[in-house]
Amino acid sequence: MIIGDRLLDLREQKNLSQGDIEHRTGVLRAYVSRVESGHTVPSLETLEKFARALEVPIYHLFYDGKNPPKPFELPNGSPQRKLAWGASGKQARMLHNLRCALGKMDERNRKLLLNLAKKMAAHSG
């Protein structure tokens, strides 16, 4: 589900106007409209403001079930640090450096790198 559609649905369920959201959040009505139409992706901070304005937990902006989604359960006897590659040590530093490098790349180069990694993975399996 697109976040804008979900915000629009929640706002209409609460019988609120975009102006009401503007008054409750301090976010301009035009910005609310751009988010709901899918032209803008709000920051996490703005999503928190929307959730407060709509009087819903923030997970409701991403999930439309009545109960919160169940958290991911790790297998018994397996600490998370063993399952999560890059959680500590040398792997964590390597992962941090990779994230920084990917953040500096343009979209075209990221796609090229991903395609190369997929081909390498297919040949190694």
Is 80 a member of any domain? no
Is 76 a member of any domain? no
**Nearest-angstrom CA–CA distance, 24 and 109:** 41
Total domains present in the chain: 2
The predicted pLDDT at position 33 comes to 94
SS3 20: helix
**What digits encode the pLDDT tens for the residues 112-121?**
888 888 888 8
Instruction: Specify whether 46 is located in the same domain as 92.
Output: no
The CATH number covering residue 24 comes to: 1.10.260.40
The predicted pLDDT at position 95 comes to 80
On the question of pLDDT at 93 being above 80, the answer is yes
Determine the residue type at 26.
G
Domain final residue pick, 46, 61, 76: 61
**What digits encode the pLDDT tens for the residues 102-114?**
778 888 888 888 8
**What digits encode the pLDDT tens for the residues 31-53?**
999 999 989 889 989 999 999 99
**Nearest-angstrom CA–CA distance, 56 and 67:** 12
The two structure tokens encoding residue 33: 């409209």
Determine the residue type at 122.
A
Residue ranges making up the domain that contains 103? 85-124
**Nearest-angstrom CA–CA distance, 57 and 63:** 10
